[in-house]
Each structure stands twice: as C-alpha cells, then as structure tokens.
Structure 1
Amino acid sequence: MSTGFIVLRGGLSLDATERRAERGDILIDGTEIRDCGPCGMAVPDGAIERDVSGSIVIPGLVNAHTHGHGSLGKGRGDLWSLELLLNAGPWISAGRSHEDKYLATMLTAADMIRRGATAVYDLTWEQPRPSVEGMHQVARAYDTIGMRALIAPMMADLSFYDIVPGLADSLPDDLRRTVDGWRLDPFGASLEACREVLATWPFDTDRLRFGIAPTIPMHCTDDFLAACARLSDEFQCPVHTHMAESKLQALNGQLTYGKSLTAHFDDMGLLTDRFTAAHGVWLDPDDMRRMADRGASVAHCPASNMRLGSGLAQIRELCDASVNVGLGSDGSNSSDNQNMFEATRLAAYVSRVLTHDINRWVASAEALEMATIGGARAMGFERLIGRIAPGYKADLAFLDLHDLAYVPLNDAFNQLAYADDGSSVSDVMIDGRFVYENHCFTTIDLDALIADTERAMERLNRDTADRKEIVAALEPHVADHCICFSSRPHHVASICDKHG
C-alpha cells in the first residue's frame, strides 16, 4: 500500500545559488520535499520510485511578471512601442466575458508550464473594473491546470490619453471625442471589489494568492494610490506596478511629481517589502537604493523591454544595490510568449551589451537564480518555492538530457541558459503532482482549450472590429507625439539611440 512518498532517483539537480550540479535522489512527501541525498539513499517502505537519471531536475521556474489575459493578443502588433501598446489596449483586451478570462488565463498557464514554469505573478485585466467573479475565474483557471499563482488585477482611474501631456489636444476632433468616451471610472468601485476578494478569498493561499496592481503610477490619482496603500496595509497583500518602464514614463513622472516615480510611490506609502516594480528600465541609483532600503523587488522583463523598445534595464546595478530581482516574460501581447528559458537567456545577454567589463555581466547561474529564487521572493513565496531542499514545495521541472541542447553535456548551467529554448522540458511537477508528463498535460484537455479559444477569437474579432479601426487611426498621432515627448534629455541612459 502506498505511503504517499515518491522518490526521484538519480536526477542531475541544479543549485543556482551554489552553482552546483550533482546527481542524487529527492524524496517527496505529499506536496513537499522531505529529503535530498545521494543516489540510492534509504527511503520509507512503500515509496513510489521514479527513475529520473535521464533528466536535469531544476526548481520550477517562477514568472515574476506577466498578464494572463494577454494570450489572446499575441502577435497583434509589430512596430509598437509601449505607448502604442497602451493605445491598442481598448481594442485588444475589449469585450471579454468571464469565460474568455478563464480561457486566456488557461492558455497563458499552459504556455508557461510546457516551458518549465510552475508559479506566476499575474497582473490580469478586467474591464471596466475588477469583479469578484472575474478574479475567481482567473484563479479557477490556475487551480484547474494546477499552477501556483499570485493574481493582481491592474487598476487605474486615469486613461493613457489623460496622462501624456498634450496628447489628447493633438488629436483630430473626432478621435479626441472617441478617447474622451474611454475615460475610466472613479477608483472606489475597483478597490471595493478588491476588498471583497481579499476578505472572502476561497482558495488555498499556499497555491493561489491575491494582490493589487495600480497599473502605472501616472494612471492613478494620488487619492487612488493612497487608498491602495491603505488596502495593502490592512490585508498585508502584495502590490505590483509598471515602474519606469519607458523613457516617456520616467520623464512624465518628473514632470508630474517633481521627483522620480519610485520616490513618489515611496511618499505614498507603497514602497514596502511587499512591493514589486515591473521593468524598472529607467531607474536611477537613488531609486535603486530606495527600493533596496524598503526590501522591494524588480521583475526584469528583457524580452518585452526590447520588443517594445523600452530600453535595457541596469540589472547589475540593481543587484549591487541589493535589490531583489526576479524575471518575467511579460504578457503575450507584448512579448508574444511565456518562455522563461528565453527570459533567462536574455537576462544574461542584455547585461553584456551595457558594458565591456565581463565582471559586470550576468552569469548563467545568476540568471537561473533570478528565474527561481528571485521570482519566489518577489511573490512572497520564498519560503515555499524556488529551491530543491527539504521543506520546500515539490515544484520541479525535468529537462531531458537527450535533448540536443545537452548533447554533449559540458556545463548544465550554461547550456540551460544559452542552448535550451525550453523544448527539453519533458515533465513538470507542482505540489508533488505531475501536471505535465511526457510532454503532455495531465490536468487539461489541450485540444479542447485550443478549440474553445479559436471560437472565442472569432467572436471577439467580430465584436471589436470597430475598435481596431479606431486604434489604427490613432496610432500615427500617438506615435508622433510620444516620440517627440521622449526625445527630451534624461539623466538615465537605458537605450541605444544616438538621438537620446
């Protein structure tokens, strides 16, 4: 009779902190790792044995920043900056039913799991505001597929067209009237919905947690930000925002507040050890020291930072300042996939085009540490996940050593970061259960998910066709205005542009 123990025999386990790769056994008791030891170690009678000697075993990757709803928007734009992506938001995220939210989140989760991710910080979006039912649908998707998640709905009370100086006035009259109709509701209803979600959250908080995401500092009035700080303090819930992602945001922050975005968030009481800043491309040394002093984290998203031309984040400087750094894929509508192997590789590569000093570069094991321990810390799960060690959850990814990325095997860390695109992931375990086995999902019907998504997209494309045309008409005006605004000088240099 089974005792509930599983022993994984002979896998090549990686420890990113120690940069150590060694073969051994892992004993799992229910949802947790009970013991790690040498090959052939003694285990309780009746333990189920599984030979993983043909695998590299790593902690499940942790995606510190994405948008679960974004999977339905992949590939929508090409030459889009961040500001053009925001301009497209009223089209690409419009008209979603609760079932659409469930499908989009499930599709995002599947894309992550098949590439070895087991936990995610999801800044989801619901129009016109978060609802209890909508947030439960997002959570239900992660619960069904078996993924660990921290869900934080993006919220704002000022639209994109409200916050870019002079943008609305630069638009033709008909387009200005249209965007005036896209103004956002007062923030009270959004925060009341979040309060109800927090007070009545029905899910296991070791698996699924809830936070809040005032989406971009300037998109939120100070009254709104102060209310977010009070709500976070009351429930001790995490806060996540897009901080200094683009040069326009950094410049606008100085213009709006007379100080950096980070300094303003600190003044509003939001910069705590529960706070994560996505991107942080245009942070300066004072911002970094301030974040380190408060115990805050940065979610580095190198793929979308380059995809949207936002710039190259100064990750070595953040680490030197003792800021915790996790890695994120960002949403599929801004980086087009959920591949944390890609995020790991790019985190290392980006550091190498910022300086000739090799001692300032991000090494392969360091990038993997960001993709596991760093992300776990940003989510507040650092005592549960991110390591293969007794007492931690059995969230593991298994990489096939016969995948050509590892033939021949010279250095597992280098080859994981630089040779593997995630295709080697054969199995994924979350909470001691295989949710992905032999390259197949065990918790969902992938074919049914694809069919349901295709039907939903037929309807959404039809229902949002008018908004697509409006966004296309707005695009040249938004692009010209934002390029002009962003040409102003700034003391942080995070982009390779001779024109600044």
Structure 2
Amino acid sequence: MTNTSSLLLAPEWLLTGPDAGTPRKAHGVLVRRDRIAAIAPLPQLLNDHPEAQRIYLPDCLLMAGMVNAHQHGRGLSQIQLGYHDTFLEAWIASRRGKGILDPYAITHLAALEMLANGVTCAIHANYTYGTGDYEHEVREQLRAYDDAGLRVTMCVGYQDQGALVYPPHEACHLHGLPQALRDWLSRPGAKPYAGSVQDTIALMHRLLADYADHPRIRLCYGPGGPQWVSDDAWRQLARDANEHALAIHTHALESPAQVRAARDLYPGGVFQHLDALGALGPRTILAHGVWIEEKDMPLLAERGVSIVRNPGCNLRMHNGIAPLARFLKHGLTVAIGSDNVTLQDDEDLLSELRLADQLAREPDWQGAPPASVEQLLAMLTSNGAHAAQWGGDTGRISPGLAADLVAIDLTRARTPMLDDDMPLLRAMLSRSRGDDVRMTMVDGRIRYLQGRHTDADIDQARAAAVACAEAARTQVDQLRREKARETVEHLCQHYRSRA
C-alpha cells in the first residue's frame, strides 16, 4: 500500500511508548508520508484533517512497531529444513551435511513472516550460506528486506577460528579424528564470510557507500562471538566500528561449551578481555548472554552494552535460561529476538517475550524482581530500536519520528471478560499473540493489513523458499551426509569429555 500525503489511524487505544502509562482512548495518529505528524484526540484530528485517508482499527491497540533484535533471516525453520533440536555446537556442525539455500528466497519469506507478526525492524545477525561469495549473499539478503519493506540492521559477519570445535582445542581434536574424516574436513572449501579481516572491512566500506542514504537499511559488524574471533581481528573491527559509528552485534556466552572455551581463552574474564580490545561500548550488542555472571553485569551496564534475550532458542539448543531479572536489576538494556528458533517454531515475537517474562520469575522471595510491564514493552520496542541503531528515529510514537507502527487486536486479551483489577497492557502481554496483529506499518507505508500483505504474495514467497530448500537438498550426496554425521558424533564426544 503506497504512501499517501496524509493518513489518519483511528485505534480504540493508543500507546505512545513503553513508559506512557495507561493507553489513551479515542486518540488518533496522523501520518504524513514516512513520519508521524500529530497525535491528538480523534475528533480533533478528524476536524483538522478532513482530507486525510482514514483507517479505523476497532478493538485494537496502536503502538510502536516491534523489533526482532536477533535473527538470521531464515524464513523456513530448522525443523522444516531437517535440523533436529540438539546442542548448539552439534547443530552448527550438522550444517556440513546440508546444501546451500538461496539467500534471497529464504530471507524474503522471513521478512514477510515478521511483518505479519507485527515486527517493523529486525537485526540480521551474522550468517553465511557458504557460497564462497559472501558479498553477494549480503546484497541478496538486503534486497529481500528492501522488497518486503522491513527495516533492517544487517550484520557483516566475521570468523577466523573455531570452525570445527572451539579453540584452543581445534588442532588436537582434528588430529584425533580418523584419517578419512580428517582428510574430508581438511579439503579446501569456501572462505568463511568475506575472508580476512581486511577483506571484511573493505566489504563494509563498499556497503556503506551503497546504502548510506537508504531509509530502512543500516549496517553493523557481526563478529561471530569471542571464541570465533582472534584478538587482532577484534581490535581491527572495533577500531573501524568506532571510526564509522557502527554497532558490533555478537553472540556471547550462549552455551555451556562457550563458557568453558572462554575460561580457557580469557582467564581474566571474557568481557574484561573484550573491553581491553575496545569492543565494549554503547553500540555493542550481546546476543543470548545465557551464562553472563552477575559479577560482570556492572561492567556491561557501565559500558552501555545491550543484551538480546532469545528464550525459545536457548531452551531448544540445550543452552539454559539467561538471567533476565538480574540484567534488569543492574540496569542493562535488554531487547528480544526470535533467532528464527522460537519455542513454537514461528516468528511470534509476542509469545517469545511472554516466555522470557515467565522464565525470569526466579523462585526466590528475595531474588531480583521479574520484568515490569514497562520493561517488557521496552524490550519489544524502544530497547530493540536502540540495539538496532534506530533508537533516535523509531521505538515510540511521537511527532517527527518514523511511522513504524503496529495495531494489535485485543479481543483475545479481553474475551470473554477482563476484570477491572487487571491492567489492559498486562492482559495484552499475557494473552495476545502474533496472529492478533491487524496492521503493520513501516516508514509510513502499510505492509500488512487485516491478514494480508499489501505489497507481496506470501504464498508465492513460501513456494520460492520451499523450492530453494528442495534444490539445496539435491546438492548433497550420500558421502557428504555420512561424513557430516560422523563429524557431529566426534564433536559430541569432544564436548562430553570436557563437560
């Protein structure tokens, strides 16, 4: 649906921000082109702007669009692609037995699914399909987000170690494998991501030149995680990020195996180490953080680091439960992400937020309090916008900001009744789901309305993603499948022996 000169949105309730208190009734929002022009009582807006196109949203709460602050652009889930829920490291190794997906098709579907669930902005974390042409992959993914109309912060990934098991045990593990498997794993293959750190920085500069003025695309560095990146690379990426005011979005202490690797590699503490390398700051985003210790939280808070909670993925990948209540107690900025591995295997960010809320309720009368309604709403909107580096322009509803908005039907939250003692927003966070979204607007353009994408054919996008997955399956012969399974078996033995 194209932008009109002015559009008047008339919901039943309006929430301008996570800290706005009780939603306003009988208020509307005037949108001009890509901006929020005015917020006022609905009769006033109707009187002052008779020329505006009107969209009535009965039974709906209009709020700032949701931000999926950590996902990888996978429109087909890992279950659909044949990956079993298992330990993270085994899942990563099992990719050796899979073919190469079309980056555009799989990302385009992911973007459309997020729009249908009320997401207006996403962080696309580091991910490579192993084509050997990482720049082409990134550009195709950016084209997919652009075609879908989703706002995105694209991470330019990097990794230069830990391709098989985490350092410092790579060489020893490889040496202990059967000769035939060792030979198979040692074959020349596609370079990881763009190649060297210098190649990665050069790629970033080319992308910055091409997308600097794009209204819905921003870029950041996406080093895989502390154990996957050498100290020298961290220094260079952090230096370039600082020079160009770019964010660094990385996985951190996601799994128990990563904790053990961090103890081997950084005996003085992984975050103290990253801090010394210049990699911690207000534009640093740590995804997962399941095993962050409370003693490290003051440093992260002092540096202004953001953390993205991915509860469903953490459970399904045997990683554990991140200490959300303690993050909030220490004043850390926390956002929410689906990681394309939610508990329900969909892109329902509202349900993932509810799961994060429930898991944060510690069984301790004197423990850290669980998240408040305001904190949960901030995780879903303004904190996510901050992590995605759009915080000055999105994440709340205010005149002059970008018109990234979502309307959520509250029928499910209020039916068959809602006692007066239960605040409306708490009921919404406790009961509403992604399929209650009635409208998603990005940059002043309605992309999803009343169950339909306005500028895309979701069935066609799904068919294209399925076709690329089926084509990828034909790329893999029986030998490759067997060697991948053998690789996973030995990797599991390695991590069991170190547990």
Q: Residue 489 of structure 2 aligns with which residue? A: 476
Q: Which amino acid aligns with 1:420?
A: S
| Kept after mapping to 2: 8 A contact 1:329/1:335 | no
Q: Does 1:269 align with 2:278?
A: yes
Q: Which of 179, 184, 194 is equivalent to 1:178?
A: 184
| Kept after mapping to 1: 8 A contact 2:108/2:148 | yes
In structure 2, do the counterparts of structure 1 residues 86 and 356 end up closer, same or farther at CA, with 3 Å as the change threshold? Answer: farther
Q: What's the offset of the Cα at 1:279?
A: 0.5
Whole-Å Cα distance in 1 between the matches of residues 477 and 376 of structure 2? 41
| Percent identity of paired positions between Structure 1 and Structure 2 | 25
| Kept after mapping to 1: 8 A contact 2:126/2:158 | no
Whole-Å Cα distance in 1 between the matches of residues 482 and 75 of structure 2? 20
Q: Residue 216 of structure 1 aligns with which residue? A: 225
Q: Residue 17 of structure 1 aligns with which residue? A: 19
Mean alpha-carbon deviation: is it higher for 149-158 or for 283-292?
283-292
Whole-Å Cα distance in 1 between the matches of residues 94 and 455 of structure 2? 34
Q: Does 1:71 align with 2:76?
A: yes
Q: Which of 34, 37, 44 is equivalent to 2:49?
A: 44
Q: Does 1:380 align with 2:389?
A: yes
In structure 2, do the counterparts of structure 1 residues 209 and 358 end up closer, same or farther at CA, with 3 Å as the change threshold? Answer: same
Q: What's the offset of the Cα at 1:435?
A: 0.3
Q: What's the offset of the Cα at 1:173?
A: 2.7
| Kept after mapping to 2: 8 A contact 1:74/1:333 | no
In structure 2, do the counterparts of structure 1 residues 342 and 468 end up closer, same or farther at CA, with 3 Å as the change threshold? Answer: farther
Q: Residue 140 of structure 2 aligns with which residue? A: 137
Q: Deviation string for 1:19-63 (max 9, x for gaps)? A: 422211111121111222223123334122222232121211101
Q: TM-score, normalised by structure 1?
A: 0.89
| Kept after mapping to 2: 8 A contact 1:277/1:297 | yes
Secondary structure of 1:149's aligned partner: strand
Whole-Å Cα distance in 2 between the matches of residues 254 and 128 of structure 1? 33
| Kept after mapping to 2: 8 A contact 1:170/1:477 | no
Q: Residue 100 of structure 2 aligns with which residue? A: 95
Mean alpha-carbon deviation: is it higher for 433-442 or for 75-84?
75-84
Q: Which amino acid aligns with 2:29?
A: I
Q: Which amino acid aligns with 1:67?
A: H
Q: Which of 439, 443, 446 is equivalent to 1:434?
A: 446
| Kept after mapping to 2: 8 A contact 1:281/1:312 | yes
In structure 2, do the counterparts of structure 1 residues 298 and 414 end up closer, same or farther at CA, with 3 Å as the change threshold? Answer: same
Q: Deviation string for 1:211-263 (max 9, x for gaps)? A: 11110211111222122112212322111110111121122112112232222
| Kept after mapping to 2: 8 A contact 1:129/1:189 | no
Q: Within 5 A, what are the aligned runs for 1:346-361?
A: 346-353=355-362, 355-357=364-366, 360-361=369-370
| Kept after mapping to 2: 8 A contact 1:396/1:429 | yes
Q: Which amino acid aligns with 1:13?
A: L
| Kept after mapping to 1: 8 A contact 2:9/2:55 | yes
RMSD of aligned residue pairs (Cα, Å) = 2.5
| Kept after mapping to 1: 8 A contact 2:71/2:339 | yes
Q: Which amino acid aligns with 1:32?
A: R
Secondary structure of 1:71's aligned partner: coil
Q: Which amino acid aligns with 1:296?
A: V
The alignment of Structure 1 onto Structure 2 pairs a total of residues equal to 481
Q: Which amino acid aligns with 1:125?
A: Y
Q: Within 5 A, what are the aligned runs for 1:415-454?
A: 415-454=427-466
**Unmatched segments (≥5 aa) in structure 1:** 488-500
Q: What's the offset of the Cα at 1:319?
A: 1.7
**Unmatched segments (≥5 aa) in structure 2:** none
In structure 2, do the counterparts of structure 1 residues 315 and 359 end up closer, same or farther at CA, with 3 Å as the change threshold? Answer: closer
Whole-Å Cα distance in 1 between the matches of residues 95 and 344 of structure 2? 15
Q: Residue 113 of structure 1 aligns with which residue? A: 115
Q: Does 1:307 align with 2:308?
A: no
Q: Does 1:390 align with 2:399?
A: yes
Whole-Å Cα distance in 1 between the matches of residues 117 and 240 of structure 2? 35
Secondary structure of 2:483's aligned partner: helix
Q: Deviation string for 1:299-323 (max 9, x for gaps)? A: 1111111111111111122122221
Secondary structure of 2:76's aligned partner: helix
Secondary structure of 1:77's aligned partner: coil
Q: Which amino acid aligns with 1:234?
A: E
Q: Within 5 A, what are the aligned runs for 1:312-323?
A: 312-323=321-332
